């Protein structure tokens, strides 16, 4: 499956962005889809994931209550709605797909190219 992330940009602290991850070339409903991010000078970290049906989602503690992950299986797309953004949310955001249900990036086999999110203070 191929993944294309989009929707990043520059936003002021407290603002919102919605990221999209469009999938092609596979059976989308087979996959858990996750968002990860890599901030400058840091390792890539888990942000959120959503299971195949969309009924179950998981979040990192740092984003819970501010970010919402959702999926539209008819459009083969997963979204990450990011509200109340903070400067520490600045990172390259990657979407990824896994046949499992883990939050461990090692379990994700397919990755999009990343989209830059920059939050100014």
Would you state the pLDDT for residue 101?
Answer: 84
Determine the average pLDDT of the residues in 61-73: 97
Query: What Å distances lie between residue 105 and 3, 12, 75, 80, CA to CA?
Result: 15, 29, 24, 17
Would you state the pLDDT for residue 26?
Answer: 82
Per DSSP, 64 falls in state B
Token pair listed for 81 = 């709605």
Asked whether residue 102 carries a pLDDT value surpassing 90, the answer given is no
Would you state the pLDDT for residue 40?
Answer: 92
Task: List beta partners, residue 48.
Answer: 35, 59
Determine the average pLDDT of the residues in 27-45: 95
């Amino acid at each position: 499956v191929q993944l294309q992330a989009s929707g990043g940009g520059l936003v002021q602290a407290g603002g919102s962005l919605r990221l999209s991850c469009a999938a092609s070339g596979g059976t989308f409903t087979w996959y858990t889809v996750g968002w990860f991010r890599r901030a400058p000078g840091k390792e890539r970290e888990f942000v959120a994931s959503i299971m195949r049906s969309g009924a179950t989602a998981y979040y990192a503690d740092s984003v819970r209550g501010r970010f919402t992950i959702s999926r539209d299986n008819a459009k083969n797309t997963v979204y990450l709605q990011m509200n109340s953004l903070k400067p520490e949310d600045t990172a390259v955001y990657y979407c990824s797909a896994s046949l499992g249900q883990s939050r461990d990036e090692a379990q994700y086999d397919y990755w999009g190219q990343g989209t830059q999110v920059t939050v100014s203070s």
